[in-house]
Structure 1
Amino acid sequence: MILPWLWRWPPGLLLAAVRELTSDVPVHLVDRVEAVRPPPAPADCTGLQLPEDGVGPLFHRRYSAEIQLHLCTAADVMALFVAAPDRMVPGEVARFEPEGDHADLRPGDDLVVRMPGPWDGPVRVLDVTPTSFRLATRPGHLEAGQIEFRADDRGMRMLFEIESWARSSSRAADVLYDRLRLSRRLQAYLWVRCCARVCAVAGGRLVDGVEIYTGRDESVVGERV
């Protein structure tokens, strides 16, 4: 249906734009050309949309945030994330909507990440560990690939990262993401705010903002028409 995203689109994007302009979180961009190596595909790919199903360049993106003087361990933070993912993302641009009868993330779960505009993200939970979880995209998502969320204790600091390996799911999605960079900008806002939320939940402070690393691989073969 069109109406559900139509009424959420302008308010969500407007609020995101205002918060991005007034954000005090430093963002550091690092862009590279690299041979991207995504993680192995799951044994059962039924119902998934992986890089070989996409079009355009293969992107490797990593959002990294070092958190100092935190009060929680990496396992504590990720347990909270897995139990209530909506708590860790900005509600104006994302909402995790489970398709099952529970809100926490469990391997094999299908869910939809609702976003403003016609680009909701159907995903499946591939793996959950005490300090990480990984999702794969499903048909209907703007991207084709995998994304992992993880935290690691490093003495007085904690490293939180969001890492993805994906191509656009269609030519239209490629235009929005790689040419116009509209969905890429919204995605960056979403995950930078997620890093800030994790920092707040951990009771610490960001050491030097959030680094966004982008690796681009033009050599991938196979393109869905």
Structure 2
Amino acid sequence: MPKDEQVQSDGAGKLIERRYWVEVQGSQRSIQELMADIQLNIADYAPGLLADFEKSKGSTGTLRPGDEFAIKILGPWNGDVRVTDVSDTHFELRTLEGHPEAGDIRFFIEPLEHFPDAFHFEIRSLARSRDGLVSFAYDTVGVGKKMQEQTWVAFCERVAEQSGGEKIGDVQVRTLYEEDLHPVVKAEAE
């Protein structure tokens, strides 16, 4: 039986926007080639000890809306996601019933403005915790937050490595809570 999607309004606690990004110059691959590789080999970009992606629905060799992944996350954080949008420069996942978060995560790549041979790769999530217990463990105790950050920073590092280019600085991380979010971002979650 298919699992229901968990949108932001299904969750508990504050709406949180998390962003992880890296900028790279001198890539040996076009942004479309690199994104195609990420889409087809997402498990190779995620650190397997922290988050192991396994495609549970959909064809191999493609990424399409409706495909699903079972993610084994270190500790009691396992969850499933469904692909909701795909293009040659991005894809988006939505959490499914039982995932520790309720919301969406978007992976995208774009040329870096004012740098002809550079790109910006970003992972952006907009979610709430699934319930009060997850919210407490994530935000108050900080257990899930550290693992999530390590996972997506490592993912960004691997994108930079697989591009064949050089990082411009370190991987950047930013977290904004509901009260600090732009009204447009808040509207996305409704």
**What TM-score does the superposition give when structure 2 sets the normalisation length?**
0.87
Deviation at 1:207, TM superposition (A): 0.7
What residue number does 1:48 align with?
Answer: 5
Match of residue 62 from structure 1: 19
Shift of residue 97 of structure 1? 1.3
131-140 vs 204-213, which moves further: 204-213
Aligned twin of 1:105: 63
Mapping of residues 104-123 of structure 1, within 5 Å: 104-123=62-81
Report which stretch shifted further, 99-108 or 70-79.
Answer: 99-108
Task: Report the CA distance between 1:101 and its aligned residue.
Answer: 5.4
In structure 1, what is the equivalent of residue 130 of structure 2? Answer: 169
Q: Which residue pairs with 1:151 in the alignment?
A: 109
**Rg larger for:** 1
Aligned letter for 2:173? I
| Counterpart residue number, 2:153 | 192
2:183 corresponds to which residue? none
The alignment partner of 2:171 has SS state of strand
Is 2:139 the partner of 1:178?
A: yes
* 2:58–2:66 CA contact under 8 A, matched in 1: no
Distance (whole Å) between structure 2 residues aligned to residue 145 and residue 131 of structure 1: 21
Tell me which of 78, 100, 105 is aligned to 2:35.
Answer: 78
Q: Which runs of 4+ in 1 moved over 4 A?
A: none
Residue 153 of structure 1: CA displacement? 2.1
Alpha-carbon separation, structure 1, partners of 2:78 and 2:54: 10
- Write the distance in 2 (CA, Å) between the matches of 1:143 and 1:92: 20
Partner of 1:141: 99
1:207 aligns with 2:161: no
- SS at structure 2 position matched to 1:195: helix
Q: Which secondary structure state, in structure 1, belongs to the residue aligned with residue 64 of structure 2?
A: coil
Residue-by-residue CA offset, 1:14-72 (whole Å, 9 max, x unaligned):
xxxxxxxxxxxxxxxxxxxxxxxxxxxxxxxx811011111111001111111111111
Structure 1 CA distance for aligned equivalents of residues 104 and 38 of structure 2: 18
Q: Provide the secondary structure at the position in 2 that maps to 1:91.
A: coil
CA distance in 2, matches of 1:198, 1:49: 28
Question: Is there any run of 5+ residues in structure 2 with no aligned partner, and where?
Answer: 181-185
Q: Distance in 2 between matches of 1:64 and 1:157?
A: 13
SS of the residue corresponding to residue 119 of structure 1 reads: coil
Task: Return the offset for 1:200.
Answer: 0.5
Answer yes or no: is 1:130 the counterpart of 2:114: no
What's the counterpart of residue 5 of structure 1?
Answer: none
Residue 102 of structure 1 and its aligned partner are, at CA, apart by 3.1
Cα displacement string for residues 59-107 of structure 1 (whole angstroms, at most 9, x for unaligned residues) = 0111111111111111111100111111111111111111125344321
**CA RMSD in angstroms, aligned pairs only:** 1.6
Identity %: 35
- CA distance in structure 2 between the partners assigned to 1:100 and 1:122 by the alignment: 11
Structure 1 residue 133, shift from structure 2 partner: 0.2
Structure 1: stretches of 5+ with no match in the other structure: 1-45, 221-225
